[in-house]
Amino acid sequence: MQTLYKTNSPQETFELGEKLAQNLKGGEVICLYGELGAGKTVFAKGLGKGLGLKEEITSPTFTLIQEYELEGQELKFVHMDLYRLQRPEEAEVIGVTDYFKEENICLIEWPEIIQDLLPEERIEISIEGSGELPREIVFTAIKNLVE
């Protein structure tokens, strides 16, 4: 199942992430595709706010994985940025798949490198556009994770 959204500003992209967060319960893996400057981190910030995070979300480009405790919940938001990885084996070494469990909500930027390691059930989000252009954002539910 695919759903297309159009956003005309970073704020609208942020709000779309915030809206998705309202439907997450734990155990979801969200794969975020898009070129540099497409708005993946803006979307991630909206998702974090929608999950109730008070702290600023930054892209974990150098740390690769950033964990956030969700206040008042037994869930963690795990934000991954795999841009710097060269081979899937590197993802295995840092334990990417260890985060795919019910007590985590995982958002993965640049998931292409671990395509074969991704869980069968996931949400794929593709963001098209960059700079000042509007964005086309396509949500694809693999195994009906979103309704």
Give the rounded distance of the alpha carbon of 50 from its chain centre: 13
Residue 142 is predicted with a pLDDT of 84
Helix (H) or strand (E) holding 123: strand 122-128
Distance (Å, rounded) from C-alpha 21 to C-alpha 48?
7
SS3 65: strand
Return the CATH number of the domain spanning residue range 2-142.
3.40.50.300
Residue in 3, 8, 81, 13 with CA at minimum distance from that of residue 46? 13
What is the reported pTM? 0.89
Distance (Å, rounded) from C-alpha 26 to C-alpha 23?
10
User: Which segments of the chain have a pLDDT < 50?
Assistant: 144-147
User: Which stretches within the chain are classed as H helix?
Assistant: 10-21, 40-50, 88-93
Strands 29-33 and 2-7: unpaired
CB atoms near residue 21 (< 10 Å): 19
Residue in 139, 113, 114, 120 with CA at minimum distance from that of residue 128? 139
Residue 62 is predicted with a pLDDT of 67
Mean pLDDT, the chain, rounded, equals 90
Residue 58 is predicted with a pLDDT of 80
As a whole number of angstroms, the longest Cα–Cα distance in the chain is 39
Are 116 and 25 in contact by the 8 Å Cβ rule? The answer is: no
